[in-house]
Structure 1
């Protein structure tokens, strides 16, 4: 996006704020977008935004990392475990960072050199540094990834990475209990039970380029536009009939009218995919409105709709066609369409930004913002917006 000297950028945040993850200097939830205290951020463009269960991370175009929010497990990478209520520079990083992925209480950072750094909780091996470290307040290098990495993803308690050659690695035991129940008496495969990066089998003939993760599932997009899914299918998020898939399974393109996938995002229990023509499809859990589909009048809140089953649960959200960006929280979403910001899904803490705490079943315009970049935490929302200077 081209900018002129008359254009300024500002960071807005809203939703859950129990730990200061909105970066506004307090711990009160905000049901409408408010300016974050961005005094510590330099006057430069922001590259990416992300959030976890109670923390937020901003990466600038210059590769610097700014953090705020919950820090009890060291997920902010500041060298201590005290919560932070406004964005602070993470000074210990010696390499420039180009991407970030936040799990519930941990953070993955992808450097310009293709190295993965991790900080926060390692109770489930989600940092990829082995079982002896319970948590880290400083970013540690994930040594088991010997190739350059091009894509990272953080689930609730597991992690994924794609290397330059297109291989997919997984670590963290967040899916282990699901796998053990589903596969017993057979053993759980190594990639679902390892505390260090382990090659995901079944993708050897594919050239993967992008990964994303839910609370207990994984998704991988190849350069050919194929989408592979594995993990828990409790809410139909894998579009399969089995309750659990231990290895990557190809999504049938007929569910997307035969089109290739160009991008994919994941909440905790739902998935959003955009096809080559710009159409946007959603599937998985929908009882909070996170699929962008109007709930039938006869359906009570919290009750799964028939469309959320594993049998043909995909749904096209037509208002999102041509979306430039989409971001998923745990059960809510943001999208930029035609320069406007839309939100939908779970809204208990006001993360949809409409001033209420009522769930939003279809994409709804968030008024007053000109979004340039968006990101979500589990229960909060972030947007870099353009504003005409006075």
Structure 2
């Protein structure tokens, strides 16, 4: 009898879970990757995963947005009646299909199919009140349901990413817009707070267009068209993936804000995916998983709780999709199921049969 194999994908999540942010129907922490079997993902393909301070967002290939975890600040986008959820909930207020989503500490962002940016969760509102003094804060900083973000003009957004109290948007033209708190130089400017999107000077990235960007609580990672990767912002847990002396010696024209200056991390060149947690990061380079930064909860996956200051290989996983929360990490890994024997093979078993973990079956 002929045997056929089918490649399927599974969502794994691990780390802190006190609000149900792993979406596994419970609130117990997980120290190792654990399979998520939510009914909301049945017969759906996951396209994007991201994690916030106590919540997670999942985007399916149909453009549907799901969220779980804490909703104390409206960061799930499902209104005020839900305080938290260990189950994935649909964000029904977004009427248009979503193409990009991001989870901040206490806020969330999304890009619709038409290129509009939406923001919800009140995590930036207190920062805005202090910084803006007598001036009113824009409505997108104080909404518990998805609210349009103004300030991009006629540009179409392509993707968004979020920090603890800042936001980043990449346009189709390869431009970066940033807004929110700049306490650690994460907005690459000398201004302490930006209430609306502000364009990043492309010269800070050697004049190259940006093709990808992600953000931690207080740091940003961007990749340019040539595959170069730049980091800037806070780096005392190793989250910039480079020695402190590099940023400390960087020349700057922004007053004394040396942390504002993007610096290249050569070991991440040509990465196919990069994601940030609060103060740690994951990347896929050459089909392998790398991690670095804050590691108190073991979210760097190296079996320790010591901070990782340079990108380090995480063994035994060959992911196709990765995501991070404040203190947890997620990876979608491919397996093949034999349709006649109902057997499952891991990537490691299949490496003897293929030259690349991305080969289709």
What is the TM-score of this pair, normalised by structure 2? 0.80
> In the alignment, what sits opposite 1:388?
349
Q: Partner of 2:284 in structure 1? A: 336
Please give the alpha-carbon distance, in whole angstroms, between the structure 1 residues aligned to 2:112 and 2:58: 14
Residues 281 and 48 of structure 1, relative CA distance in 2, 3 Å threshold: farther
CA deviations over 1:220-246 (Å, ceiling 9, x no partner) = 111111111111111101001111111
Query: Contact 1:239–1:310 at 8 Å: present in 2 too?
Result: no
> Partners in 2 of 1:228 and 1:74 — Cα distance?
32
Flag the 1:352–1:141 CA change in 2: closer, same or farther, 3 A: closer
- The structure-2 alpha-carbon separation of the partners of 1:48 and 1:165, relative to structure 1 and needing over 3 Å to count, comes to farther
Give the distance between the partners of 2:59 and 2:316, measured in 1 at CA.
Answer: 33
Which residue in the other structure is 2:343 paired with? none
Residue 28 of structure 1 corresponds to none
**Aligned counterparts, 1:30-69, within 5 A:** 44-46=7-9, 54=16
Structure 1: which 5+ residue stretches go unaligned? Answer: 8-42, 55-69, 298-303
Is 1:213 aligned with 2:162?
A: yes
Q: What is the rounded CA distance, in whole Å, between the counterparts of 1:101 and 1:228 in structure 2? A: 20
CA distance in 2, matches of 1:350, 1:74: 18
Q: Give deviations 1:305-338, integer Å, cap 9, x for gaps.
A: 4759366421100121111222222211222223
Q: Distance in 2 between matches of 1:176 and 1:313?
A: 26
Q: Give the alignment's Cα RMSD to 1 decimal.
A: 3.1
Hey, what does 1:309 align to over in structure 2? 257
d(CA) in 1 for partners of 2:124 and 2:249?
26
Cα 1:47–1:89, aligned 2, differ >3 Å: closer, same or farther?
closer
User: 1:358 maps to which residue?
Assistant: 306
Contact 1:178 1:232 in 2 (8 A): yes
2:106 pairs with 1:157 = yes
User: Shift in Å at residue 366 of structure 1?
Assistant: 4.0
> Counterparts of 1:102 and 1:82 in 2: how far apart (Å)?
15
**1:198 corresponds to 2:198:** no
**Deviation per residue, 1:58-96 (Å, 9 max, x gap):** xxxxxxxxxxxx2x5454556x65538653411255772
Q: Which runs of 5+ in 2 are unaligned?
A: 251-255, 334-345, 353-361
Q: Does 1:90 align with 2:38?
A: yes
Listed one character per residue, the Cα deviations across residues 359-385 of structure 1 (whole Å, up to 9, x for unaligned) are: 332223445655544433323444547
Residues 1:310 and 1:195: Cα distance change in structure 2 (over 3 Å): farther
Closer/same/farther in 2, CA of residues 378 and 228 from structure 1, 3 Å limit: same
- 1:131 is displaced (CA, Å) by 2.7
Residues 335-354 of structure 1: CA distance to partner in whole angstroms, max 9, x if unpaired? 22233433222233444344
Q: Is contact 2:161–2:213 with CA below 8 Å preserved after alignment?
A: yes
Q: Deviations over 1:237-291 (max 9, x none)?
A: 1001111111011111001111000011111111101000000000110111111
CA distance in 2, matches of 1:132, 1:353: 35
Match of residue 325, structure 2, among 377, 384, 389: 377
Q: Secondary structure at the match of 1:237?
A: coil
CA distance in 1, matches of 2:42, 2:302: 40
Relative distance call for 1:320 and 1:380 in structure 2 (3 A) is same
